[in-house]
Amino acid sequence: MKVGIKFGAFDWRERLEKSNAKYAEVYFRLDWKEKYQELFQYLRENEIHFGLHFWALVKSKYMPNLAYCREGIDEETEKLIKESLDIASNAGAYYVNFHPGSLRNLELDLNKQEISLADSEKISEKEAFASLEKHMRKLKSHADQCGVKVFVETVPIFDPSNFREGDKQLGRQNPIKSFHLSNKYLIELGQKGYDICCDVAHAAAQYPNESRGNVFKKMFSDIQQLAPYVKLVHVNTTLEPLNGTDSHNGVMEDDFQQNVFPSREQYLKIFGVFKKYPDIWYIPEPQMEKMVDNYFEIQKLLDEA
């Protein structure tokens, strides 16, 4: 089982030393690329396998979006991901993971961790998927030349207005109607030969404001269809309300006592599907101070599944 941990440019050493993890995902801000050099050297020297989770600003203010084929947003996003692939190749990373995009253009403040709608039109799902598929072809070709994998991630249908640590529940009360691409399009990409990151809470957030039973039934069906193409799982849960956004809770007992979704029993079923594919990486995405505890808990759950 390839279980790892996640960290950014400044919070990595203690987590790596406490966990002794041999797999990791780096929260990678392209505008901070110079800040990661010591980390990359440490990962190489300690033979820790790692990937990058791509983040950047498009035109200095917009969320990356390969699906939004207006105003050059998709083209600039592709350019930034290609630059990140080059960096990943030079650093010795295994993959670059990124979100596919949405039907609307979004403004993003990475420092304040806030999202808002840009003053632009909503496009159709057909246009969005055609744009995404076009850029995926070019990115996979570039990644192959770099010797790096590209993973495209399941996404929630809406965004919280802010995603700051400790403050996200307030942001979830004011969801942004971003209309990120649905799980069915990620399934189609997998069928076309692209590698998928299944973020469990994101996959569930495609079905807002339904009963927990209905959400699990639909999400579990999606996961079963996605599983043959999944190379990375983001392990997380969501507090109610299940309104199309996620809360980035974990899989500890104190999370399940708060009635997060999925439940512990449902997670065992999910892991039972993924365990059929031994090359999958599992990366937790809880509150940051609980990262190492979740790393160990995921291993227990996988053993039990």
The predicted structure's pLDDT at residue 133: 98
31-75 pLDDT, tens digit each: 999 999 999 999 999 999 999 999 999 999 999 999 999 999 999
- Count CA within 13 A, CB hemisphere, residue 203: 33
Average pLDDT, the chain: 97
- CA–CA gap between residue 168 and residue 78 (Å, rounded): 28
CA distance 173 to 163: 11
118: CB partners within 8 A, 6+ apart: 62, 104, 105, 106, 107
Integer Cα distance of 223 and 200 in angstroms: 8
Q: What is the pLDDT of residue 287?
A: 87
Give pLDDT tens digits for 98-139. 999 999 999 999 999 999 999 999 999 999 999 999 999 999
pLDDT of residue 153: 98
pLDDT at site 171: 86
Q: How many CB atoms lie within 10 A of CB 38?
A: 11
**pLDDT range class, residue 166, cuts 50, 70, 90:** confident
The span from the CA of 77 to the CA of 38, in Å, is: 26
Between β-strands 49-55 and 195-199, what pairing exists: parallel, antiparallel or unpaired?
unpaired
108 and 62 in contact (C-beta within 8 Å)?
Answer: yes
Query: What distance in Å separates the CA atoms of residue 79 and residue 67, rounded to the nearest whole number?
Result: 14
- pLDDT at residue 145 is higher than 90: yes
How far apart (Å, rounded) are the C-alpha atoms in residues 197 and 157? Answer: 16
pLDDT score for 169: 83
- pLDDT grade, residue 25 (50/70/90)? very high
